[in-house]
Structure 1
Amino acid sequence: MNYTINKDKFVGCRTFKKHCPVVAITGEKKQVHEINQDHCIKCGKYFTVCKFDYVIID
């Protein structure tokens, strides 16, 4: 299972980036962010702090 950012919907919000417990998300404000799959622990924190549908689980 991988979490990836839906680049078609993402607008550059940093809410879930600053809540990532292992700093697996990189990117600047208003730019597309990336999730480092080697660091991501699949904690699901994103789903509790973000009201948008930016992350895809595949």
Structure 2
Amino acid sequence: MLGVPESDYDRTGLSSYPYGSDTDETFTSIVWWQNHEILHHGAEIALLRDLFARGGTRIR
């Protein structure tokens, strides 16, 4: 089972800086941002899926 101890929620430096987030960012804010991105892109995929299933006109 995967888990994060509660003591790490406010710990900084859990990102892969310089290729990731800022090292001062807390674990909670990283998780919040990832959740936001998953929801955002999932909604885009659902919209495109629904538009494709409806069989809209093609743009030329």
TM-score of the aligned structures, taking structure 2 as reference length: 0.26
Higher strand share: 1
| Larger-gyration structure (1/2) | 2
TM-score of the aligned structures, taking structure 1 as reference length: 0.27
Higher helix share: 2
Higher relative contact order (CA 8 A, sep 6+): 1
